[in-house]
Structure 1
Amino acid sequence: MQTLALRGGARVAVDAAQWRHAFGVVTRGRVQLELRDGEPGPVLGRDAGFWLRGTGVRALRNPGRRTARVRIVTPRPGPPPASETPRTPVTEWRNDMNSMNDTGAAAGPAPGQTSHTHRLRGLAGTGLIATLAAMAATTLAAALAQAVGVDFEVPDGGETIPLSGFAVVTGFFSVVGIVIAVALLRWSARPAERFVWTAMMLTAISLVPPLLSGANSATTTALLGLHLVPATVMIPTLARSLRTRTD
């Protein structure tokens, strides 16, 4: 039995001859499996176990910032068989299970996949709650702006933006932010940092239309502020959630 330490972003090639019968258990952080063709495999969380034999895994990589640890369990060789029994798939599976029981390992790849799915669902749930909060905050801010005399009239068509319009637009773009955060958690090694950078860039771009709308100064100023309200709710919440689920 040995413990493998992977620093943030580190990659360790799998020695097929040495680890042929090895079984790994993630004891800290997250570990991503790199497949035979170089494509990124599943990301396993703490307490997830995985076989290396016959899986096509050629390397282990740490997608996070903190050091990850993997306990490598190599089964002890058993006594020679009493008879030359052909190794069919059934007998080979039984022998592998016996070796696993001898070493005290009792996990499979399913827990890691389940853990990753839970992280994605947890992030999406946090994002939806933040979306509702952002919609309420933006609508309330728009109502207060109307109360002090801002008409929210856009010269193009002469229509006034209703309060429900602010809620709908805020909800739509907040959901887009959740999708971006989930995608970065799934495929990026530094999801929190990249999400903040992406969200800030999109927020800056969203400030351009109010400046070009031709509305009066009070409406333009209010629209700019209402673009920043949901950003101050969604960006810190999702970034904090990404950091929690990455460490």
Structure 2
Amino acid sequence: MALENATVMKAFRMYSLLARDSVVNKGLLQEYMADDEVRGLVDQFAREVDCVTIIAGEQLYMIPETRLSPFHMNNEVIKRTYLRANAVNADLYLMYVSIIVLIGAFYDSYQTMEPTRSFIQLDEWTALVNERIRMLKRYPETELREMEKEFSYNWTSLIDKWSAMDDIKETASRQSGNTISRVSFMDSVRRFLIAQELVSDIGNQEITLTEKAKVVVQRYFMELEYNRGILEFLYQFDPSEEEASRHAGDI
């Protein structure tokens, strides 16, 4: 049975708003949930552009599922918009690793489906990234090179990039300049996540996960198909074991 034109147009208008803003609010979400035919069409339109729809709180989001999606934010845009003007791929992948570590901090190293904490401070998040990169430094260079082939991450360049950053906690005025530091880099990652509505800034250098982030984590981050084993790789060492590897030195 052919769908009525009014139903098709209602679904298309909803999809158009999702395509423009990536989100629609409570009123349209209720229409989406109440009408099976509209919901099916909106989801079908999203799939045609390699996107999926997710419901988080009282909002409906459309997010790209693959790099083939025209809504996927490419690496150059991310570097140009959120990182330094001369950022390279190592900066970008360090951002990705920092985000993985952030999610791990909320989800007990990927062993739970619900967050185990309410918020995290920027300083603690920075320290956790440092901890994970110290774990990477434990590997002999030959092993790292082999794992780079497996995970498509240049772990050696990430270690070098992080090691080259200033570890001094800067003043607010210095952070606003071009000084390269771990603090300012992590703040750039924080701003990216806020812009993508994945974290909220709650003040005092503290952030919390949004409902959108929780749904994305449950739906994708926990799936080996999507994380390609990177999460297990980063968390295979317990921080308490670090005492046995002091010979690796501090980064």
TM-score (norm 2): 0.22
1 or 2 for the larger relative contact order (CA 8 Å, sep ≥6)? Answer: 1
- More strand per residue: 1
Structure label with greater radius of gyration: 1
